Amino acid sequence: MLMIWAARIAFVGILVFALRKGGEPERMVAAILIATILLDLANHALFGSPAFFAIDPGHLVIDSWALAALLWVALRANRAWPLWACSGQVILILAHLAKMIDLSLVRYGYFAMSQLPIAIQSAALLLGTTAHLQRTDRIGRYHAWRLT
């Protein structure tokens, strides 16, 4: 239980760090992750908690939206780290698809595939925000988005 709360506190700290110190892409990814949490809370408040072995359409919709939003940031940001955050979301979508194909997979990989991506996304956001700060110190202000 202590590890769960430590991970949650670290996640909140990373979000606050990105929102306060990051550039626009860092703040946008933090906002997307916060939105997924709030949407998940609303989903559970409206529809209850589904059984772990059942497919939850609310989670699939929320996670699909988050994938589209993170992909948009990853393709347009003048940084490489959003690709890692987006790849975590791809893993999560693949978990939903695997669960739809064969519910027996729940016992093996669904839990890891649905819980690990937030760690990948948190690490990417932390490292990306830190790299942004170091780059800003080294070269000054720079474009947050790719110039196409």
Q: What is the pLDDT of residues 8-50, one digit of tens each?
A: 999 999 999 999 999 999 999 999 999 999 999 999 999 888 7
Distance CA 88, CA 47 (A): 26
Helix (H) or strand (E) holding 69: helix 57-76
The reply to whether 22 falls in a domain is: yes
The reply to whether 145 falls in a domain is: no
The reply to whether 119 falls in a domain is: yes
The reply to whether 68 falls in a domain is: yes
The reply to whether 1 falls in a domain is: no
Cβ contacts of 103 within 8 Å, gap of 6 or more: 53
Domain that holds residue 44: 13-139
Q: How many domains does the chain have?
A: 1
Span 69-119, pLDDT tens digits: 999 999 999 999 999 999 999 999 998 888 888 777 666 677 788 888 999
Looking at the predicted structure, is the pLDDT value of residue 124 above 90? yes
Distance CA 145, CA 148 (A): 9
pTM of this prediction exceeds 0.95: no
Q: Taking Cα atoms as reference points, which of 75, 80, 87 lies closest to residue 116?
A: 87
